Amino acid sequence: MRACIERKREGGDLSPEEWTRIVAGLMDGRVDEAQFAALCMACVWRGMSFDEAFAMTRAMVESGDQLSFDRQEGVVVDKHSSGGVSDIVSLAAVPLAAACGARVAKLSGRALGHTGGTIDKLETIPGLRTALSTEEFAEQVRNTGCAIAAQSATIVPADKRIYALRDRTGTVPALGLISSSIVSKKIAGGAHAFVFDVKTGPAAFMQEPEKAKELGRWLLEIAARFGRRATAFVTDMSEPLGRCIGTGVEVVEAREMLQGNGDPRAVQLVTAIAAALVNECGFDEPEALVMRALSSGSGFEKFREMIAAQGGDVSAFENMQLGESIAVRARSGGYVSSIDVVRLGHAGRRLSTHDPLGGLRVDVRIGDYVETGTPLLHAYGRDRDHAAQFADAFTLSESKPAPVPLIYDVQINSVLYPQSGRAAAL
Ligand code: URA
């Protein structure tokens, strides 16, 4: 192991066999965490070749159980976000795509750092279970068309160990480490196709759009080497995607969106990603199908159906409402030129820790003009009285900032499937 660390330190590559031995060694104790952390730091500084990232992905997949779905019954698709704030895409896009006929088997994680976790959000619905057995998960996808389940401890256990170690040692932001972490979980989850949402901007791991695009390309290429179709989006995280930040408050926002009352920016991304999920399952005119599912309410019906299938109390879900709030107001006038999304993400997590309907609702977007006293956000939950400080999370300036795109890039791994997504190619 020491020789491998030294070789990486000097900028050399490790062979696939070495990556297999190292990942297996971490899991069985032959490689200690200090050594693995040193190797990760060398990867951060020296980079990893694409072949190394692929080898590490394979070694991680092999560290645990692998699910599978019968391809004869149709394509099953999964989605992954690299981590966002007010990222309600999975909550809304999964049922929306399923309402169009897609089969979506979504494995999700919990909150990490300033970013929210879909599992924490869903668990605010009374009774809803996210710890589904492999059989329950597959059966729900077959019967309902979609399921969102927590990744069990036996799926890519190596990622749990490695991610926690990277988190502690400042070694998260490395292209090869991030791509192997993300793709290994998707491969082990058993879906035939994936949609990746790579965030970019100040609150994302890949802050530069070009770096985020590169991550998108690696995700697609690794997926292709495993024989999986995939689409990768690069999307903005310089402001919260939706309006609400927390857990239950984001469920309320997703529900309202599927009832036809969504924030336009969030709707734009949710519908684009839902269309990509539908496209990956081989349907023609996916955008039109998704817009119909949104306007007809069938996406909302599918959300209710999914919640009921996972044991959730549908009427409690329908009655979830934001409670009393305090407004945090602008202390001066000006254009909102930036928002400290990391700070708001942490605040939303804190407010929702002991109160499922605690959190923030952001009232302004970058580029809006506010007068002194205009509400910037509303804070909800038991601890809302401490929110006044968050006025500082908004920078106001005299000139209007240039608009930031929401979707920077969409790529499909046409390496394997030149006509990816069309029924003819299936
Ligand atoms: N998301 C993941 O799942 N893994 C990473 O390494 C970074 C973001």
DSSP string, 245-268: EESHHHHHHHHHHHTT---HHHHH
**In one letter, which amino acid is 92?**
A
74 CB-contact burial (10 Å; exposed 0-12 / middle 13-18 / buried 19+) = middle
Tens-place pLDDT, residues 311-367: 999 999 999 999 999 999 999 999 999 999 999 999 999 999 989 999 999 999 999
Residue with tokens 């190619």: 425
- Residue 426 pLDDT class (50, 70, 90 cuts): very low
Q: Name the residue among 114, 140, 116 with its Cα closest to residue 129.
A: 140
Q: Identify any residues that bridge with 81 across adjacent strands, giving them in sequence order.
A: 197
SS3 state at 374: coil
101 CB-contact burial (10 Å; exposed 0-12 / middle 13-18 / buried 19+) = middle
Give the pLDDT confidence score for residue 416 in this predicted structure.
52
The DSSP code for 152 is P
Contact 99, 299 (CB under 8 A): yes
Give the pLDDT confidence score for residue 421 in this predicted structure.
42
Pairing of strands 146-150, 229-236: unpaired
Q: Does the C-beta of 83 come closer than 6 Å to ligand 1?
A: yes
Give the pLDDT confidence score for residue 116 in this predicted structure.
82
Q: Tell whether the model's pLDDT for residue 424 goes beyond 70.
A: no
Q: Give helix then strand counts, H and E, for the chain.
A: 16, 13
Question: Is 302 tagged catalytic?
Answer: no
Q: What's the CA-to-centroid distance between 181 and ligand 1, angstroms?
A: 6
- Mutation choice for ligand 1 from 61, 172, 218, CB with most ligand atoms inside 8 A: 172
Tens-place pLDDT, residues 198-236: 999 999 989 999 999 999 999 999 999 999 999 999 999
Tokens of 24: 């297996």
For the ranges 68-72, 189-193, 262-266, the lowest mean pLDDT is seen at 68-72
Q: Identify any residues that bridge with 327 across adjacent strands, giving them in sequence order.
A: 378
Q: Tell whether the model's pLDDT for residue 82 goes beyond 80.
A: yes
CA dist 304 and 318 (Å) reads: 9
- The pTM (predicted TM-score) of the whole model is 0.94
Q: What is the arithmetic mean of pLDDT over 82-91? A: 95
Give the pLDDT confidence score for residue 418 in this predicted structure.
44
Q: Does the C-beta of 235 come closer than 6 Å to ligand 1?
A: no
What separation in angstroms does the CA of 244 have from each of 96, 250, 321, 382, 386? 20, 5, 12, 16, 17
The average confidence (pLDDT) of the chain is 94
Question: Is 181 tagged catalytic?
Answer: yes
Tens-place pLDDT, residues 119-169: 999 999 999 999 999 999 999 999 999 999 998 889 999 999 999 899 889
Tokens of 52: 């190394």
Q: Tell whether the model's pLDDT for residue 172 goes beyond 70.
A: yes
CA dist 9 and 6 (Å) reads: 5
Alpha carbon nearest to ligand 1 atom 6, residue: 178
Q: What's the CA-to-centroid distance between 163 and ligand 1, angstroms?
A: 7
Closest ligand 1 atom to residue 166 Cα is 6
Q: Percentage of residues in the chain with pLDDT exceeding 70?
A: 97
CA dist 157 and 109 (Å) reads: 13
Alpha carbon nearest to ligand 1 atom 5, residue: 178
Q: Does the C-beta of 181 come closer than 6 Å to ligand 1?
A: yes
Main-chain dihedrals φ then ψ at residue 239, nearest 5 degrees: -145, 160
Alpha carbon nearest to ligand 1 atom 7, residue: 178
**In one letter, which amino acid is 232?**
A
Give the pLDDT confidence score for residue 138 in this predicted structure.
93
Pairing of strands 244-246, 229-236: unpaired
CA dist 61 and 159 (Å) reads: 9
Helix (H) or strand (E) holding 200: strand 193-200
Active-site residue among 8, 79, 80, 213?
Answer: 80
